[in-house]
Structure 1
Amino acid sequence: MTQNEATQQNTAMRALLHMVAQDLGRPLSSEWEKAYWAVPRHRFLPERFHQGPECVPVDRREEPAEWLRAAYEDEPAITQLNDGEEAGEDDTPWPSSSASAPSIVFRMLELLDVRDGQRVLEVGTGTGWNAGLLAQRLGGSGRVTSVEVDPALAEGAAARLREAGLGVQVVTGDGAEGYAPGAPYDRVVATCSVRQVPYAWIEQTAPGGVILTPWDAPWCCYGLLRLTVEGDGTASGRFAPHSAFMVMRGHRADLRIFRDVVREGQVPEGSVTELSPWAVAGNDLDARFAVGLLVGDVWHAWQEDPDVEGVAARVWVATVDGTSWAAVDFDGEGERDFVVHQYGSRRVWDEVAAAYAWWRGAGSPEVGRFGLTVGAGGARRVWLDDPANAVP
């Protein structure tokens, strides 16, 4: 490395450290700052990655300075498209793996609250950077085990971790199953979001241990869930209002609403609602999160300019199995009386409206007031403020 390159790297790393501190509202703890400098992010990124919703490529061989700058932005770096498969000529590339934004990486690591001598299971190795930071912080080989479902990603991460001299065991497998041979763990952390907490994680965590995972509901992918495992095989804890992650591959639902659910011959029932679709599917993340917890397997998607006479915008709502659906239309003029069409054994818009009414009646609670208890065998109970106060 030339002197100029070393200077550029140092400048970029310091700038990112400042951005992380701004996001956290305080400087990074000394333990994690030490790990940050010892495990540089750019060493765990591929020569070519993508950025942003448009998946703009950044290539080190073509633009090394731009690549280094992008590596130290506080943004996700998309490291895989389409599960590693070639996209068809008419297909739109979609992100299937990424290196998370550094601020959320360190927010989660601090929430995990690891202690010297502990053993950690990571679900979702990705590039290996997160596992590398954990290994550096904990010291010594054998403290961190990381599970990655994608063989190519696992192989690449393992190679980077070996090159960095970090003793992480990388296992190729389904992260929902954890890794029983290494149990019990003091901490379990996922770098992908889940729609239910796999009970294997609880079984493989020592009593008093912590599980930290991003949360996803079909309605709203948002929130971090931090559970403490009890000696009776249950786990309980609160949500925190941070982040959105890619969904664990086994929890995905390939649904595009009107393309997948509306079939010829289906005759929906018409009605009118005063509930604005923007209230439940707009920018209010507290509302969307609460609705997602309450309605469970219901999904939505906006269809702007739906090419229907008299309709300026439409939101589609459906169960993830596609058997029940609704379309709620806005005519571009009035602020009340939205037209609703519903089909199927469930009236999904009515369910959404009831969930929103409960949330408003409860005082519009923020994400951090909700919690989850997972019982023996995986049964779950959502609560508000206190585990005894179950959400209906």
Structure 2
Amino acid sequence: MELNAADEQTAVVSALSAGLLGSVNESLGAPMAPAWEAAFRGVPRHAFLPGTVWVGDELAECSREAAPAEWLGHAYADTAVVTQVNDGDDGDTVAPGERWASCSASAPSIVFRMLDLLDVRAGHRVLEIGTGTGWNAALLAHRLGPGRVTTIEVDPALAADAGGRLEDMGLDVRAVQGDGARGHEAGEPYERTIATCSVRTVPPAWIAQTRPGGVVLVPWDSPWFCYGLLRLTVDGYGGASGFFSPHSAFMLLRGQRTDLRIYRDVVRDSHVPEESTTRLSPWAVAGEDCAAQFAIGLQLPHVWRAWHENPDVEGVDSRLWLADTDAASWAAVDLDGRTADRFTVWEHGPRRLWETVEAAYGWWREAGSPGPERFGMTVAPDGTHVPWLDVPDSPVPVLL
């Protein structure tokens, strides 16, 4: 018997879904819990993606209408899928080189890793910051049941679309459009709060609206490096504390974005930088070593960096730029593509940023080059953030 188009679509989705489940379980290192597998099967990922997504380094458009097989393949790959560009401003017409991702559906493996870390139980109420497509809220609602999940999204268009998808799936989720940094007082206290956007400081409302003993789970970001999940336990006195884990890279909470450009905001023709040399390779602090970058980011919470490949400078193959987030000081470290033990440094402003980076890297090496999982953070009732190594009474030096 020949299958009709609908049956063929169902068979394709079933096969792709089974493949994705296997990929997620492999990434997690063990089969996901039965309740989460039931949610995975009950709320299919493709049902929560918009008709157009953007893929690849160039953020090329992929339309469900124009390329249904390709679109469905992206829906069931264990990768993040960009679902909005340029905050929704002319996303369908802006040139590829001018596109930047402003919303995405996270890779399913990190979605289920975070849900596992959240450790929800029957009867829990959950506040989700960053509705996005609505899939994460749908998974939580499938697990916890009606009226247990509140999700908040700052972008009106995203909020409306996600609310419609949740309603179409018959899921009883309170979907709110608003500033997620403020939480949602009407549903508090929550046993669990989860953010699907990264933060550089934890908004106090998230702690205040979570019950003592409850969990606040947030992706972490620093201007130096976006990486890490922070799992805080609320202490009942207005603060919270907990460890990081070495996963994730999420888009930053919109209210905490840093929009710096080297030549627009920092470097001026009138600046006369001081020249020096260093034996510390820029790749050691801003290359592929996630542990080093994470530790430097904790110590230098106000220092931003960017690579400039093939700058129009004679004898320079690549350049690492550094600037503090108030744009008062900057540094540049040059690689010539040949010398591996000495690099030229240029610095300008009241702070010597490269010297501070060298100090931060030196501290990390002397501490035994610890990974993110050995670090933690305490958020005090007054909002002060104190990073620590291994135990809360072993603070990490914050250098700027």
TM class by shorter chain equals over 0.9
Picking from 133, 141, 149, the partner of 1:144 is: 149
Q: Match of 1:202, SS?
A: helix
Q: Does 1:308 find its partner at 2:328?
A: no
Picking from 83, 96, 100, the partner of 1:94 is: 100
2:66 partner amino acid: E
Q: Does 251-260 or 213-222 show the bigger shift?
A: 251-260
Aligned equivalents of 2:310 and 2:71: distance in 1? 37
Picking from 1, 25, 30, the partner of 1:26 is: 30
Query: How many pairs align?
Result: 391
Cα distance change on mapping 1:341 and 1:383 into 2, 3 Å: same
Picking from 79, 82, 87, the partner of 2:83 is: 79
1:264 partner amino acid: D
Q: Is the 8 A contact 2:59 2:96 kept in 1?
A: no
Q: Is the 8 A contact 1:258 1:316 kept in 2?
A: no
The match for 1:110 is: 116
Aligned equivalents of 2:177 and 2:96: distance in 1? 32
Picking from 246, 252, 255, the partner of 2:251 is: 246
Aligned equivalents of 1:67 and 1:120: distance in 2? 31
The match for 1:122 is: 128
Picking from 362, 367, 370, the partner of 1:365 is: 370
Offset of residue 257 of structure 1? 2.1
Aligned equivalents of 1:36 and 1:332: distance in 2? 48
Offset of residue 90 of structure 1? 9.0
Q: Match of 2:227, SS?
A: coil
1:54 partner amino acid: E
Q: Does 1:178 find its partner at 2:177?
A: no
Aligned equivalents of 2:296 and 2:267: distance in 1? 23
1:134 partner amino acid: L
Q: Does 1:383 find its partner at 2:383?
A: no
Name structure 1 gaps, 5 residues minimum: none
Q: Is the 8 A contact 1:122 1:131 kept in 2?
A: yes
Q: Is the 8 A contact 1:149 1:172 kept in 2?
A: yes
Offset of residue 91 of structure 1? 5.6
Q: Match of 1:239, SS?
A: strand
Q: Is the 8 A contact 1:257 1:300 kept in 2?
A: no
Per-residue CA deviations over 1:83-122 (Å, capped at 9, x if unaligned) read 0012666961011001101010000001000000100000
Q: Does 1:135 find its partner at 2:144?
A: no
Q: Is the 8 A contact 1:51 1:76 kept in 2?
A: no
2:211 partner amino acid: A
The match for 1:57 is: 61
Give the alignment's TM-score, normalised by structure 2. Answer: 0.96
Q: Match of 1:308, SS?
A: coil
Aligned equivalents of 2:124 and 2:96: distance in 1? 49
Cα distance change on mapping 1:13 and 1:257 into 2, 3 Å: same
Offset of residue 332 of structure 1? 2.0
1:20 partner amino acid: V
Per-residue CA deviations over 1:11-35 (Å, capped at 9, x if unaligned) read 0110000000010011111010001
Picking from 239, 264, 283, the partner of 2:288 is: 283
Aligned equivalents of 2:286 and 2:101: distance in 1? 23
Offset of residue 66 of structure 1? 2.0
The match for 1:332 is: 337
Aligned equivalents of 1:65 and 1:219: distance in 2? 38
Q: Match of 2:21, SS?
A: helix
Per-residue CA deviations over 1:126-165 (Å, capped at 9, x if unaligned) read 000000000010012x200011000000000000000101
Q: CA RMSD in A?
A: 1.2
Name structure 2 gaps, 5 residues minimum: none
Aligned equivalents of 1:342 and 1:138: distance in 2? 54
Q: Is the 8 A contact 1:154 1:171 kept in 2?
A: yes
Q: Does 1:67 find its partner at 2:71?
A: yes
Q: Match of 2:98, SS?
A: coil
The match for 2:46 is: 42
The match for 2:173 is: 168
1:7 partner amino acid: A
Aligned equivalents of 1:63 and 1:337: distance in 2? 51
Aligned equivalents of 1:160 and 1:366: distance in 2? 39
Q: Is the 8 A contact 1:328 1:339 kept in 2?
A: yes
Aligned equivalents of 2:283 and 2:12: distance in 1? 45
Aligned equivalents of 1:309 and 1:52: distance in 2? 32
1:128 partner amino acid: G
Aligned equivalents of 2:215 and 2:83: distance in 1? 28
Aligned equivalents of 1:157 and 1:13: distance in 2? 21
Q: Does 1:230 find its partner at 2:235?
A: yes
